[in-house]
Amino acid sequence: MPRNEPDERLKKYPSTDKLRVIDTIGVPHPYCITPKHVEIASDQFCGRLGEDAIIAAEKQGARCDICRRRGREILSYKQHETALLVEVADDRELKNIPELHPYLLSIKDMCEKDGFAGFAFKQRKP
């Protein structure tokens, strides 16, 4: 979903000294608009490029530009999902961080209720 403001749903997710939800990320990749999306938003939606304009543009042939350029399956706007981006303050491989699995289990239900597809990770040195 196009957004300029931080997602308010993220504030409720708990954090630890090593783990915290910092943002969302498009999966399998962000939906990439094209000039055709902008044209349709301009002509039919008073310039507002929201979900309604994107879906209308798809009905008129606009497609995610990342999908189009990759030459693979073209996913619709609705098929592009959003995952939680979890910052991990530990430079070990994720599978070697014992706190990670319990943390993810502790926020899993909240994540699903909020409509997120899952988790992605951004590591930083502690």
- 99 vs 89, 90, 103, 115, CA distance in Å? 11, 10, 6, 24
59 vs 77: CA distance, rounded Å: 11
Check residue 5 and give its pLDDT. Answer: 59
Q: What is the mean pLDDT of the chain?
A: 92
* Domain chopping of the chain, boundaries: 1-28+80-126, 32-76
Query: What's the pLDDT tens digit per position in 92-105?
Result: 999 999 999 999 99
Query: What's the pLDDT tens digit per position in 7-55?
Result: 788 999 999 999 999 999 999 999 999 999 999 999 999 999 999 999 9
- 126 vs 71, 93, 94, 95, 123, CA distance in Å? 39, 13, 14, 17, 9
64 vs 37: CA distance, rounded Å: 9
Check residue 2 and give its pLDDT. Answer: 44
